[in-house]
Amino acid sequence: MKVIEQLKSLSEQRFQEIYESLAQNGLGPLDGEVAKDLKFRPQAIKKLPFAQRAKRARIYMERTHNAELCYELFGTYLMKGHKDLVTDFLDATGVEHKEGMLEDNDARPDAAKLSAAIADLDKKYKPEDVTLYLSICSEQWPELPEIESLWRMRM
């Protein structure tokens, strides 16, 4: 549950930025879950300020330890606004993909290329986005302890 650890390490402001970047039609990506948790009608959640909804979404994910939901939230954030980071990592580590989506679920990054790939990503992208992506990678490829080590060094 590395993504849950990553979630817990994010500042409130950083999580809110991620959450707001995924809003559609005035609703945050987890507003439905937040509404249920608060026993609100789905549309009534819009009455809460966005910052409060983001805070409640974070609390919900931490309390339920829903790694799958967290993984999806972080992955959507990266694919929506930082797809080049994902594709650059996959290209640099030899993982075949189509616009960031793996073509072979058994494909693995080349462990020997990880450090150089991460160093290059850090030069091109915000290090906090690279760290976020590494938390996803460590969930996706648990059989590669090198990824988790690189991620944990950044925590």
- Whether the per-residue pLDDT at 100 is higher than 90: the answer is yes
- Whether the per-residue pLDDT at 155 is higher than 90: the answer is no
- pLDDT grade for 105, boundaries at 50, 70 and 90: confident
pLDDT score of 104: 87
- Whether the per-residue pLDDT at 76 is higher than 90: the answer is yes
pLDDT score of 43: 83
Give the Cα separation of 92 and 90 in Å (integer). Answer: 6
Q: What is the mean pLDDT of the chain?
A: 95
Question: What does the chain come to in residues?
Answer: 155
What is the mean pLDDT of the segment spanning 36-49?
A: 89
pLDDT score of 134: 97
- Whether the per-residue pLDDT at 111 is higher than 90: the answer is yes
List the single range of 6-15, 97-106, 109-118, 131-140 with lowest mean pLDDT. Answer: 97-106
